[in-house]
């Protein structure tokens, strides 16, 4: 089993930045592929970014490229999501997820482990 705990969500003004953190525990010595998703009120959960276990490969939804950066520190069992130039439409609960898959997937059903989420609110 893998446990994920997100942190770093906050209320921020448009144009600001936040760094989300996802700490993993449990069976973390294996090759976990990690992803960040988000879910706004009344909307479906959507993929934001993913990173391979080594960190060598990343994938972003086009609308987040250039603004969001996913990274990981395997020595600390932690994945990060740096979010810059935040917009009100980025307001959502952000979830960290993990899967044993080798290739990055954008489908939330293919992730086996989830954190509880962290709220990001961007004011205009």
Q: CA 50, CA 34: separation in Å to the nearest integer?
A: 6
Q: How confident is the model at residue 27 (pLDDT cuts 50, 70, 90)?
A: confident
% of the chain residues with pLDDT over 90: 89
Look at residue 30 in the predicted model and tell me its pLDDT.
61
Helix (H, G, I), strand (E, B) or coil at 110: helix
DSSP 64: G
Per-residue confidence (pLDDT) for residue 29, from 0 to 100: 61
Could you give the CA distance from residue 50 to residue 98 in angstroms, rounded to a whole number? Answer: 9
pLDDT in tens, 32-89: 999 999 999 999 999 999 999 899 999 999 889 899 999 999 999 999 999 999 999 9
């Amino acid at each position: 089993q893998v446990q994920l705990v997100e942190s770093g969500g906050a209320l921020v003004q448009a144009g600001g930045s936040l760094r989300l953190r996802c700490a993993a525990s449990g069976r973390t010595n294996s090759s976990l592929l990690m992803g960040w998703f988000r879910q706004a009120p009344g909307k479906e959960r959507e993929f934001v970014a993913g990173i391979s276990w080594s960190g060598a490969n990343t994938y972003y939804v086009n609308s987040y490229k250039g603004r969001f950066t996913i990274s990981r520190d395997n020595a600390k069992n932690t994945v990060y999501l740096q979010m810059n130039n935040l917009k009100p439409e980025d307001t959502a609960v952000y979830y960290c997820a993990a899967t044993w898959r080798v290739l990055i997937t954008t489908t939330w059903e293919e992730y086996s482990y989830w954190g509880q989420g962290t709220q990001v609110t961007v004011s205009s």
